[in-house]
Amino acid sequence: MSRQITMSSVAIGAALVFTAVVGVAGSTAATGQPRASAGAAWSYEGATGPENWGRLDPSYAACVDGSVQSPIDIVGATGKAIANPRVAYENSQVIVENNGHTVQANALPGSSITVNGVTSQLLQMHFHAPAENMIAGLRAPVDVHFVHKAADGKLTVIGVMLKVGSRRNAGWQPMVRVLRLSNIHTASEASEATTTFDWAAMLPKDRRSYRFAGSLTTPGCTEGVSWIVMKQPVLLSAAQIAAFTGAYDNNARPVQPINGRPITLDSSS
Ligand SMILES: [Zn+2]
């Protein structure tokens, strides 16, 4: 697989921080520009864990100083008849890789969402286990983040909760198959795998969602991210869920203070 794709996909968080800091418009992922210096190593436990992220590197300051951080426990949402995001996802080939913090599927250009008249391109999807955002105190076993970027560089993340249901979910089976490859369990360039996603089939049918402002949930915890968390979970079989947790089962940042930020629940039908 080409260096270009590998570089762009190693750590979308780092690439996005780079974009935010220097104000570069356009997609770093698409152009394959080398990401900015990766910053200090971080993890989900111990000395480099979430409680210490803000002190690991000056570029991670928002992790401790920020006031609109993600994830959150979603409570106190105000119902409003706002339009669902318009989803224009295409079937596409994806390159899946283990970046050392999650397993991430990088999208080819062509899939997008439109919210309030603003179109954002789908860059990648990755997951956290257990879920990062919670809904009314409840935590799903897996939380999937679909990361999008608008022309002005602003990010919108669609969060989808994966829960255990009684049957196999065909839409998620391509990702599950990749997660079961032994080489994808190692974080390295050699662990890439290519498959095809029907992206739209991976979202819940009911597109009503919670909307709120937040941040990246990984260092540097950059704010200015628009969050859309789907109210309806997607059900996978227990064996499918186990494919996710078999790859990562402790890559969730703890919930952060809401600090009075408004949370809206799309109550349209
Ligand atoms: Zn995430």
pLDDT tens for residues 16-62? 433 333 322 333 333 333 333 468 999 999 999 999 999 999 999 99
Cα 255 to averaged position of ligand 1 atoms, centre (Å) = 13
pLDDT of residue 51: 97
Share of the chain above pLDDT 90, in %: 78
Residue 238 contacts residue 164 (beta carbons within 8 Å)? yes
Cα 75 to averaged position of ligand 1 atoms, centre (Å) = 20
Cα 146 to averaged position of ligand 1 atoms, centre (Å) = 8
Cα 1 to averaged position of ligand 1 atoms, centre (Å) = 24
Any domain includes 206: yes
pLDDT tens for residues 25-36? 333 333 333 333
Residue 110 contacts residue 119 (beta carbons within 8 Å)? no
Any domain includes 266: no
Any domain includes 261: no
Any domain includes 268: no
Calpha distance 138→156 (Å, rounded): 23
Alpha carbon separation from 17 to 66, 166, 238 (Å, rounded): 14, 40, 35
Residue 131 sits in a domain whose CATH number is 3.10.200.10
pLDDT of residue 82: 85
Cα 35 to averaged position of ligand 1 atoms, centre (Å) = 18
Q: Which residues neighbour 63 within 8 Å (Cβ) at sequence distance 6 or greater? A: 50, 53, 54, 69, 219, 220, 221
The whole-number average pLDDT for the span 133-153 is 98
Compute CA 210 distance to the chain's CA centroid, rounded to the nearest angstrom.
15
Share of the chain above pLDDT 70, in %: 86
Cα 253 to averaged position of ligand 1 atoms, centre (Å) = 9
Q: Which of 253, 218, 8 is nearest to 107 (CA)?
A: 8
Any domain includes 159: yes
What is the number of residues in the chain? 269
Give how many domains the chain has, as a whole number.
Answer: 1
Q: Flag whether pLDDT at 86 surpasses 90.
A: yes
Any domain includes 192: yes
Catalytic residue, candidates 101, 126, 145, 148: 101
Q: Is 101 a catalytic residue?
A: yes
Cis previous bond, 220, omega within 30: yes
Query: Residue type at 207?
Result: R
Per-residue 3-state assignment (H helix, E strand, C coil) for 26-79: CCHHHHCCCCCCCCCCCCCCHHHCHHHHHHHCHHHCHHHHCCCCCCCEECCCEE
Domain that holds residue 121: 3-254
Cα 264 to averaged position of ligand 1 atoms, centre (Å) = 20
Any domain includes 262: no
pTM value is 0.86
Element (H, E) at 120: strand 118-128
